[in-house]
C-alpha cells in the first residue's frame, strides 16, 4: 500500500514538475463536433456526386449500345463520368474516415458503415437527380474551375464528329427524303434520310433535336443510317454559344 501511495505521489509530482494542465472540456466537444461536421459535409458532397452521376448517365447515349459495333466501345467509355466517380469515391472515403474518428465511431464495423454511407448517398442523390438538381449541382460544383467541361457540352462534342459518323443538331427544314439540320456550331447540314432507320419510330422526326449515325462524304452533306431523338434532360436549355468551351 505504501508503495502504491508513493507511485501516486510520484505521478502528481511529475505533473507539477512538467506543469501539465488539464485540456478544457470545450476543446474535446469542439473536436468531436468538427469531425461530425466534416462527416456530414463529406456525406452531402457524396450525395451531390451521385445526383450528377445519374444526370451524366442519363445523358450518356447508352441507348446506342445495341446500334454500335463493339469497335465503338470507346464511345461509351467517353460517356462515363470519371471525374464525378472519382469525386464520389473521395467523399465517400472521407465521410467514412471522419465518422470513424468521432467519439464512438469505432463501434460500427467498416462494411456496415460503408453500406449506410453509400445507401444514404445513393438515395439522396437519386432524389436530388429526380427533382432536377443534377445539372444545377454540376454547374455549382464546377463553377470554381473555368475549364471544367459540363455533361451537356461533352455530350454535344461527342455528336460533333461527322467524319466518325456522329452528327446531331436541330431540324430547321424538312423534305420527303432529306432534312436540313443546324449543328451545335450553327453549321447547316443536308441529311439524306432515304435509307435511314428511325429509332424508335416515325415520331422521332417530330423532335426538334436529333442524333444521327451515318457517313459524311463532304462538308455539309450527311447520309443518315440511324436517327434517334436527342433525349436526355428535356428541361435542359442550351447555353449561349459564347459560354460554351470550344469543341
Partner 1 sequence: MSQNFLEIPDEVLATQARSEKEAFATLIDRYESRLLRYILRISSLSQAEAEDTLQEVFVKLWQNINEYDESQKFSSWIYRITHNETISAFRKKVSRGDDQKVSIDDEMVQEVSSHISVEKEVDENITTVQVHSILQTLPEKYKEVLVLRFLEGYSYGEMADILSVPEGTVATLLSRAKDAFKKTSKRRNLFDFLSFSS
Residue 68 backbone dihedrals phi, psi, to 5 degrees: -110, 145
125-142 CB burial, b ≥16 within 10 A, e <16: beebbeeebbbebbeebb
Contact of 141 with 69, CB cutoff 8 Å: no
Among 103, 174, 195, 239, binds partner 1 (CB under 8 A): 103
Q: Residue 22 CB, nearest distance to partner 1 (Å)?
A: 6
Strand, helix or coil for residue 81: coil
Q: Residue 103 CB, nearest distance to partner 1 (Å)?
A: 7
Assess 143 for contact with partner 1 (CB under 8 A).
no
CB nearer to partner 1: pick between 23 and 66: 23
Assess 14 for contact with partner 1 (CB under 8 A).
yes
Q: Residue 8 CB, nearest distance to partner 1 (Å)?
A: 4
C-alpha cell at 150: 459540363
Gap between the Cα atoms of 195 and 80, Å rounded: 31
For residue 165, give the DSSP letter. Answer: T
Assess 30 for contact with partner 1 (CB under 8 A).
no
Assess 19 for contact with partner 1 (CB under 8 A).
no
Among 69, 71, 107, 242, binds partner 1 (CB under 8 A): 107
Contact region with partner 1 (CB under 8 A), list: 4-12, 33-41, 86-94, 141-149 = 4-12
Gap between the Cα atoms of 228 and 212, Å rounded: 6
Q: Tell me which residues touch partner 1 (CB under 8 A).
A: 4-5, 7-12, 14-15, 18, 20-25, 27-28, 103, 106-109
Amino acid at each position: 500500500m505504501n508503495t502504491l501511495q508513493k507511485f501516486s505521489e510520484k505521478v502528481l509530482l511529475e505533473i507539477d514538475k512538467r506543469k501539465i494542465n488539464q485540456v478544457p472540456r470545450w476543446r474535446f466537444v469542439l473536436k468531436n463536433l468538427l469531425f461530425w461536421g466534416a462527416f456530414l459535409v463529406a456525406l452531402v458532397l457524396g450525395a451531390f456526386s451521385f445526383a450528377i452521376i445519374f444526370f451524366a448517365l442519363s445523358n450518356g447515349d447508352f441507348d446506342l449500345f445495341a446500334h454500335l459495333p463493339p469497335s465503338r466501345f470507346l464511345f461509351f467509355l467517353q460517356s462515363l463520368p470519371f471525374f464525378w466517380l472519382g469525386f464520389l469515391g473521395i467523399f465517400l472515403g472521407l465521410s467514412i474516415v471522419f465518422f470513424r474518428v468521432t467519439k464512438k465511431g469505432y463501434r460500427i464495423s467498416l462494411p456496415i458503415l460503408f453500406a449506410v454511407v453509400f445507401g444514404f448517398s445513393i438515395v439522396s442523390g437519386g432524389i436530388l437527380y429526380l427533382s432536377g438538381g443534377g445539372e444545377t449541382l454540376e454547374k455549382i460544383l464546377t463553377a470554381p474551375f473555368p475549364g471544367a467541361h459540363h455533361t451537356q457540352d461533352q455530350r454535344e462534342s461527342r455528336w460533333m464528329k461527322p467524319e466518325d459518323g456522329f452528327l446531331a443538331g436541330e431540324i430547321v427544314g424538312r423534305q420527303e427524303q432529306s432534312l436540313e439540320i443546324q449543328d451545335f456550331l450553327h453549321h447547316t447540314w443536308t441529311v439524306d434520310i432515304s435509307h435511314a432507320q428511325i429509332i424508335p419510330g416515325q415520331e422521332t422526326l417530330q423532335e426538334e433535336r436529333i442524333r444521327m449515325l451515318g457517313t459524311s462524304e463532304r462538308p455539309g452533306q450527311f447520309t443518315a443510317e440511324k436517327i434517334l431523338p436527342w433525349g436526355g434532360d428535356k428541361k435542359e436549355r442550351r447555353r449561349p454559344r459564347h459560354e460554351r468551351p470550344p469543341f
